Chains A and B, each alone.
Chain A
Amino acid sequence: MKILVCISHVPDTTSKINFTENDTKFDTNGVQFVINPYDEFCLTRAMWFKEKQGATVTIVNVGGAETEPTLRKALAIGADNAIRVNVNPTDGLQVAKELAAVVKNGGYDLVLAGKESADYNGQMVPGMLASLTDFNFINGCVGIEVDGRSVSATREIDGGNETLSSNLPLVIGGQKGVVEEKDLRIPNMRGIMMARKKPLQVIEGVGATAATSVQSFEKPAPKGAVKLVDADNVDELISLLHNEAKVI
């Protein structure tokens, strides 16, 4: 089985988000970048397939040279090789089109991608990629098993789960549950040494254009101070929620 894992390079979850150039550019100053948490679950699941069922695992990112440390980290976790599509994308459709070209050229059976990225949270790349490649698609996946060419996957639905079946080739939009958080892999010394020698291929994009662009960023308006209510006076809280906030 040939697996492709899409890796997005995103600010660490604790990052303070700031903007420059008149609130038009994300300020990367002092920001630590990591593998997108949703992609990390997918990558670990891919390693599991590789070790237990036999698979080659390629990782791919559409981005500039600054994303290479993130790709090296994913290689250190155990991916076999990496592809960086040398394009600075500005929207999900552009990323999906660039990825679709990689998928079509590579003959992959299973494509794993986090259901969203922790920066722009568009929730569109896996679905668009599936559509563009005509692969089957299961989103919001919390469990996946592959037996030959047939797949059983579970996705989250409102208030529960749904189990689905499909054949390969397939695109998965994954989240926690594809593996549990305690099972996530951390690169060890040997992995880091080996990763240095693994191939990281840089290819030029196919020239996909974006359909959307960010005009400006905005922070939420500063909030007023919290209204404190005495612990002995919950009646006041109820009255505030009823009369002032009008939520009960």
Chain B
Amino acid sequence: MSVLVFAESSEGKFKKTAFEVVSYGKKVAEQLGTNVVALTINANDSSELYTYGAEKVVTVSNDALNTFNAKQYAAIVTEVAKAQSATVVVVDSSIDGLYLAPLVAVDLEAGCVSNVVAAPSSTSPFTVKRKTFSNKTFSNTVISTDHKVIGVAKNSYGVHENPVAGSTEAFEPAIAASGVTSEKVERVTGKVTIADADIVVSAGRGLKGPENWGMIEELADVLGAASACSKPVSDLGWRPHSEHVGQTGKPVAANLYIAIGISGAIQHLAGINASKVKVVINTDPEAPFFKAADYGIVGDAFEVVPKLIEKLKAFKAS
């Protein structure tokens, strides 16, 4: 028996979520009294995962796998899971993680639970806590199959160091026919993406128009943050759709979410609930966001944000 963790990397480098899922896998392995095995595909330095408790790392290197392909990746995860006698497979809740999880689940005849926020509360019955109803609630879910596939929600379990003397084992999988071919990948480069960011600076209709986003981007720059917006802002074309967060937009599970000129409608909050610390800046003391936030300033964004940028620059320099 073992716990298999798929540690996602991009251009050879691990994502932060890779360390989180290995930390999570280590915990589950301890609970089950077994070992954690991590699987990497085209990662440069897989030994980094020993720090988080991976006793064994199965490495796959193959240029044909440089672009993510769900069916091919799922076939590899399944094959390694079988070879390592893994009963639990852990992935992150990234776009790609949740693309392959259901495919792996069918191949392993496993129950699958995504958006999991904590280590199992019990391993018999195997019970995990996950987000449901668009982040408004949690559900404690029992997985009754022998095999289990778990998608860990970002920034929910955290990254925990647990150094072990691990070993790596190279694996050369046969690459499955996929039926789906990648023709073109277009990435906005040089910018922190909402999915990866620890800090997100977001602004709403209170900003009045697209010409006022300069200060939002500057604030994001100072903090090394991603910028985001509310739905009407992207609907109005002030900002690209890729920045729209909320129930029907992107989910944000950042350590810090700063909401400027956003009212805090229920659909917006559903997308950002999972963020740890929320700051709101709004002229209206009755704005619903103040009920959801940890820190708030009742004030005009056009006065507060420039001051905040100036003071943060001084703080960062000190």
Residues of A within 8 A of B (CB): 11, 13-14, 17, 19, 37, 91-93, 96, 118-128, 130-132, 136-140, 152, 156-167, 176-177, 181-182, 210-220, 223-224, 226-231, 234-235, 237-238, 240-242, 245, 247-248
Distance in angstroms between the alpha carbons of A121 and B235 in the assembled complex: 24
Partner of A241, one of B141, B248, B277: B277
Which B217-250 residues sit within 8 Å CB-CB of chain A? 223, 235, 241-242, 247-249
Given contact pairs A120-B139, A245-B295, a sample of 15 additional A-B residue pairs in the complex whose CB atoms are under 8 Å apart: A118-B247, A119-B132, A121-B132, A121-B134, A128-B106, A139-B70, A158-B94, A160-B185, A165-B180, A212-B143, A218-B129, A228-B290, A241-B277, A247-B198, A247-B256
Q: Which secondary structure characterizes the binding site on chain A?
A: mixed
**Chain B interface size, under 10 / 10 to 19 / 20 to 34 / 35 or more:** 35 or more
Let me know if A226 and B114 touch, CB within 8 A.
no
Within B178-207, the residues touching A (CB, 8 Å) are 179-189, 191, 193, 195-196, 198-199
Query: What is the CA–CA distance of A207 and B193 in the complex, to the nearest angstrom?
Result: 43
Q: Footprint of A on B, CB under 8 Å?
A: 10, 67-68, 70-71, 94-96, 98-103, 105-107, 110-115, 127, 129, 131-145, 151, 179-189, 191, 193, 195-196, 198-199, 223, 235, 241-242, 247-249, 255-256, 266-267, 270, 273, 276-277, 279-280, 290-300, 303-304, 307-308, 311-312, 315
**Complex Cα spacing A211 to B198, Å:** 34
* A147 vs chain B, min Cβ distance (A): 14
Bound state CA distance, A40 and B312, in angstroms?
A: 43
Q: Which residues of B contact A158 (CB under 8 A)?
A: 10, 94-96, 187, 193, 195-196
A164/B143 contact (C-beta < 8 A), A158-B94, A218-B138 known: no
Q: In the docked arrangement, what's the CA distance between A235 and B270, Å?
A: 30
List, in ascending order, chain B residues with CB within 8 A of A139's CB. 70, 95, 98-99
* Interface residue SS majority, chain B: mixed
A-B contact pairs, 21 of them (CB 8 A): A13-B248, A92-B112, A119-B132, A121-B114, A121-B131, A123-B151, A124-B114, A127-B102, A159-B187, A160-B242, A161-B186, A163-B186, A164-B182, A176-B241, A215-B139, A215-B140, A215-B141, A216-B139, A217-B138, A220-B273, A226-B280
A176–B247 Cα distance when bound, in Å, is: 11
Q: A131-B107, A158-B195, A216-B140 are in contact. Are A227 and B295 (CB under 8 A)?
A: yes
Chain A residues whose C-beta falls within 8 Å of the C-beta of B186 in the assembled complex:
160-163
Distance in Å: Cβ of B125 to nearest Cβ of chain A: 8
What's the count of A-B pairs with C-beta under 8 Å? 259
Give Cα A27 to B142, complex, Å: 20
Query: CA of A238 to CA of B196 in the docked complex: distance in angstroms?
Result: 23
Q: B182, A212: Cβ atoms under 8 Å?
A: no
Are the CB atoms of A241 and B295 closer together than 8 Å? yes
Contacts of A242 in B (CB 8 A): 315
Q: Which residues of A contact B105 (CB under 8 A)?
A: 93, 124, 128, 211
Q: How far is the CA of A215 from the CA of B292 in the complex (A)?
A: 27
In the bound complex, how far is the Cα of B293 from the Cα of A14, in angstroms? Answer: 19
Shortest C-beta distance, A24 to chain B (Å), equals 10
For A121, the chain B residues whose CB sits under 8 A away are 114-115, 131-135
Give the complex CA separation of A99 and B223 in angstroms: 47
Check A248–B199 contact: CB distance below 8 A.
yes
